[in-house]
């Protein structure tokens, strides 16, 4: 397993949404998720009961799972960034709306 390190850098608050979008876009393009899904499907379509060998599909499916895990981890990080931004820009908490009270008949 490869080692990981946290990278941080400073940007203007107004640039955070664009930076976050760029991070997700770059990761999505880097992992080629759609291409990997298509390859898994192609492998599965080629599997028949006469010649059952799903090993190639399993290998590609494992790659897809790894890419999805990376994307999910980054989505959690992005969520935390955006929640922090929301809190920073909204010093007063947004009040929760209470459910309407209905009188018992």
**Of the candidates 28, 96, 35, 95, the residue with the CA atom closest to the CA atom of residue 60:** 35
Percent of the chain with pLDDT over 70: 85
Q: What is the per-residue pLDDT for 99?
A: 57
What are the residue boundaries of the structural domains of the chain, listed by start? 13-89
With 0-12 / 13-18 / 19 or more C-beta atoms within 10 angstroms meaning exposed / middle / buried, residue 68 is middle
Confidence bin at 62 (pLDDT 50/70/90): very high
Q: Distance between CA atoms of 20 and 25, rounded to whole angstroms?
A: 9
- Tell me what the mean pLDDT of segment 26-50 comes to: 82
pLDDT at residue 87 is higher than 60:
yes
Q: What is the per-residue pLDDT for 65?
A: 92
Contact by Cβ (8 Å): 71, 33: yes
């Amino acid at each position: 397993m490869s080692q990981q390190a946290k990278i941080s850098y400073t940007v203007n608050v107004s640039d955070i949404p664009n930076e976050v979008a760029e991070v997700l876009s770059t990761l999505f393009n880097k992992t080629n998720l759609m291409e990997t899904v298509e390859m898994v499907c192609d492998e599965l379509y080629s599997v028949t009961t006469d010649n059952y060998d799903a090993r190639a599909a399993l290998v590609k499916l494992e790659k897809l799972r790894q890419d999805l895990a990376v994307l999910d981890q980054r989505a959690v990080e992005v969520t935390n960034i955006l929640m922090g931004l929301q809190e920073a820009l909204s010093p007063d908490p947004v009040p929760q709306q209470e459910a309407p009270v209905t009188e018992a008949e």
